[in-house]
Amino acid sequence: MPDLRDYFFQRKNIDFVKKTLGKELWIQVSGNRNMDASSAVFWAALMPVENIDEAYRDCSWNSHIGTQCPGFIEYGDKITYEANPLSFDSCLNIVHYRDFYGIKPSYVEISEEFRLLNNLYHDTNTNIFYEIENNGECAEVAKITNDDCVYIKLKSLMRYAAAKQMALLLFFDIRVKIPGSLLENGLEAFSDTVKEDGLFFGLWGDEQRIPETYSYSVLMGKKILMPKPVEECGYAPYSYNKAKEYLDYIIGIDEYGEPKSYTSNPDKLSNYFGANPGAPHYLTPVFFKKDVLQRYLSRPDIFSVEAGYLRCQQLWGIEIDNEHKDVVSVYLGDLGRDLPAQEQAHWKQYNIATDEKLSTNAIKKDFLCAFTRPEISDLKFKSNFERFVDAWRKKYQWDLFLPLSQDDEYNFKTLHLPITGGQEEFDHLVLSLVKTIIDSLNEKEIVKQFKNSTDLKGGISKLEYWFSELNLSDYQQQIKFLRNLQELRSTGTGHRKGKGYKKIAEVFGLDTDNYVDVFDRILLQANAFILFLTTNFLPSDS
């Protein structure tokens, strides 16, 4: 138990409201809290800057816990409807306490205006509200706990206050209760107020005798946080006024072999229209280690790495040349124009000087305006597979490869040539490829195509029997590839690696070659399998 007099005079709580309240990352804007064995209640509201003197009139709250409901207001003989009425002291609540007369449970609700202004996504399972950032990440902005306490990030509250040009008022009511009378506790009744710039509270103590005798003290007041100018609120159009920062990137080497860098600001680059003579061209290729894509491949729910393009859902996108095994290139001007600031910093980590050139496809597409299809094995397989699946469904009205479930579709989306060059990544990629072209075989429909019934197990065996009935040439080569791939998955990820894995690893050349080149060959064989199917079943589309 703390020192009785310190506890009664709430010295720790006063220290909290003076030094900590309004400076925390998360601000409690509604609900109760136990503080230093005392009971606290918090609330928050906004007050127009021009009315701020009302906040310093006394230490009582200028807003009450409840709901500000739209409705009709009487002004003498005149009745008007107001959609967003302010409280008696011109305050606007940030949280509404919803009550339904005991018929339905009460609950707290964050202001709709605040939620819409920040375009917050409400995860109803966790009661957390998220803001979608430019990099596609979901950032927590507000949360409601199981005991109906509401917490909102200080940064978001102050942006909201700046947008509305209203001061943020953080109300507090903190009470302590001590059994026994003041005399029995060696205490005395008192009353005091503290009025400072940005803080106004009252502190008083006395005793109560009904229904029991106890001593108590109350610390009640408000913290007053003034807003920034509206131009600094961070919302459009004011957010557009903030000068964008453009990073420098390595674009080559100088005469001493040292990396040579230049800004990605499009306004400072030369172009085909005569801008900035002597500066590097907007279309100067900048090269990066392919590791730069790992971040995006690991989050297929947010990012999509496509042939020649990287996108973050509907937030942003940028053209890339990803038709190299080891590097990715992007035009210097596109880096500055299309990448958000935090993404530019990510890319800069992987920026390198290299002798690599633009891929043939990039030259054809960007400078010769020619239609291209991917040539690198991973992009080529994904493109060919998708076109095959669509053509097959259109012609036969059923799927040879069943669509992956929502929980499994990442296996196809993230198929790529290994980047890290490690066993773990290779195993994962083999598993993803098997799920795409073996585990997804539509065995039920394949069996329907048999001329003679037979009892076979496994998609590969059923496919083999069907091919044999059709007397397709060279089908055994494709079946052999599928069985080997299945064995590589089974011995590599389905079980502990042992002699079986060593044997099949040698078949694929893992004993003499690196994971990148091995998986490149596997994808080339997968492409050959799709071409085999196209040639034999979709000849008009080959």
Residue 533 within a domain:
yes
Helices in 105-207 by DSSP H: which ranges? 112-117, 154-164
Residue 238 within a domain:
no
Q: What is the pLDDT of residue 530?
A: 96
CB 39 within 8 A of CB 174: yes
Residues 6+ away with beta carbon under 8 Å from 197: none
Residue 103 within a domain:
yes
> What is the number of structural domains in the chain?
3
Compute mean pLDDT per 10 residues along the chain, 542 residues long, and list them. 84 96 96 92 95 92 86 85 70 92 93 96 96 89 94 97 96 96 93 95 93 94 96 87 84 93 97 95 97 94 94 94 96 96 94 95 92 93 96 96 94 93 92 96 95 89 95 94 94 78 90 92 96 91 50
Task: Looking at the structure, tell me whether residues 61 and 178 fall in a common domain.
Answer: yes
DSSP 10-54: THHHHHHHHHTTT-SSEEEEEEEEEETTEEEEEEEEEEEGGGGGG
The type of residue at 182 is L
Task: Looking at the structure, tell me whether residues 294 and 396 fall in a common domain.
Answer: no
Task: Looking at the structure, tell me whether residues 29 and 150 fall in a common domain.
Answer: yes
Task: Looking at the structure, tell me whether residues 329 and 397 fall in a common domain.
Answer: no
Residue 212 burial class via C-beta count within 10 angstroms: exposed 0-12, middle 13-18, buried 19 and up? exposed
Task: Looking at the structure, tell me whether residues 407 and 350 fall in a common domain.
Answer: no
Which residue's structure tokens are 């005469």?
255
Q: How far is CA 44 from CA 62, 102, 223, in A?
A: 9, 25, 9
CB 469 within 8 A of CB 448: no
Residue 504 within a domain:
yes
Residue 73 within a domain:
yes
Task: Looking at the structure, tell me whether residues 20 and 127 fall in a common domain.
Answer: yes
Q: Structure tokens of 196?
A: 């400072």
Task: Looking at the structure, tell me whether residues 390 and 492 fall in a common domain.
Answer: yes
The type of residue at 247 is L
Q: What is the pLDDT of residue 360?
A: 94
Query: What is d(CA 220, CA 205) in angstroms, rounded to the nearest whole number?
Result: 12
Write down how long the chain is: 542
The type of residue at 463 is L
Q: What is the pLDDT of residue 461?
A: 96
Q: How far is CA 539 from CA 61, 374, 477, 478, 531, in A?
A: 79, 21, 19, 18, 10
Residue 237 within a domain:
no
Task: Looking at the structure, tell me whether residues 48 and 177 fall in a common domain.
Answer: yes
Task: Looking at the structure, tell me whether residues 190 and 316 fall in a common domain.
Answer: no
Structural domain of residue 214, as residue ranges?
4-232
CB 72 within 8 A of CB 64: no
Residue 372 within a domain:
no
Q: How many CA atoms lie within 13 A of 179 on its CB side?
A: 0
Residue 486 within a domain:
yes
Q: How far is CA 221 from CA 25, 203, 281, 540, in A?
A: 21, 9, 61, 80
Peptide bond into 340 cis (omega under 30): no
Q: How many CB atoms lie within 10 A of CB 265?
A: 19
Q: What is the pLDDT of residue 542?
A: 47
Residues 6+ away with beta carbon under 8 Å from 540: none
Q: How far is CA 166 from CA 93, 224, 349, in A?
A: 12, 10, 41
Peptide bond into 211 cis (omega under 30): yes
Query: Where among 367, 400, 432 does a domain terminate?
Result: 367
Q: What is the pLDDT of residue 66?
A: 84
Query: Where among 344, 367, 390 does a domain terminate?
Result: 367
Closest by CA to 120, choosing from 139, 135, 95, 137, is: 139
CB 281 within 8 A of CB 270: yes
Residues 6+ away with beta carbon under 8 Å from 209: 181
Query: What is d(CA 204, CA 192) in angstroms, rounded to the nearest whole number?
Result: 6
Task: Looking at the structure, tell me whether residues 303 and 399 fall in a common domain.
Answer: no
Task: Looking at the structure, tell me whether residues 147 and 29 fall in a common domain.
Answer: yes
Query: Where among 232, 253, 287 does a domain terminate?
Result: 232
Q: Structure tokens of 125?
A: 């399972």
Q: How far is CA 288 from CA 67, 202, 245, 348, in A?
A: 55, 61, 20, 8
Task: Looking at the structure, tell me whether residues 82 and 51 fall in a common domain.
Answer: yes
Q: What is the pLDDT of residue 72?
A: 86
- Classify strands 38-48 and 166-179 as parallel, antiparallel or unpaired: antiparallel
